[in-house]
Homo-oligomer: A and B are copies of this chain.
Amino acid sequence: MERDELVAAYRGYIACLNRQDWDELGRYVGEEVRYNGERVGLAGYRSMLEGDFRAIPDLRFHIELLVCDPPHVASRLAFDCTPVGVLFGVPVNGRRVRFEENVFYEFREGRIASVLSIIDKAAIAAQI
């Protein structure tokens, strides 16, 4: 895919997450997707995202910075949310937290094949 096409696909993916439109996830994410080096597959990836929305009912993915260099996308995602219980080992319990994620995606045949994510968990702990 060309740069503009890849940017559009990535924005479509983020919109899909924000709609929690899990039946559409396979349009954007490959069957054999890997997350931080581990093969979780589309079903495992969907489960992970569903779990994220259970933990953070008002979860919303906001693209703060998008760097696209086919076949890779790098994105800085910003979160401003109120997780219900314990998040990444931190007892947030409904308080508002803001944090970022710096994440790389590799696309193959129009779909995400690999995700390498680092979430700023220390920022969450510092706010609680």
Contact = CB atoms under 8 A, between A and B. Distances in A.
Contacts of A88: 122
A101 interface: yes
Contact of A118 (B65, B67, B69, B102): B102
Q: Which of the four size classes fits the interface of chain A?
A: 20 to 34
A65 B116 contact: yes
A116 B76 contact: yes
A103 interface: yes
B65 A67 contact: no
A116 to B, nearest CB: 6
A119 B118 contact: yes
Interface in A71-128: 72-74, 76, 88, 100-104, 116-122
Given A65-B104, A67-B73, A121-B122, 20 more contacts: A3-B69, A65-B116, A67-B67, A67-B69, A67-B72, A67-B104, A69-B69, A74-B74, A74-B102, A76-B104, A88-B122, A100-B116, A100-B118, A101-B118, A102-B103, A102-B104, A118-B118, A118-B119, A121-B121, A122-B122
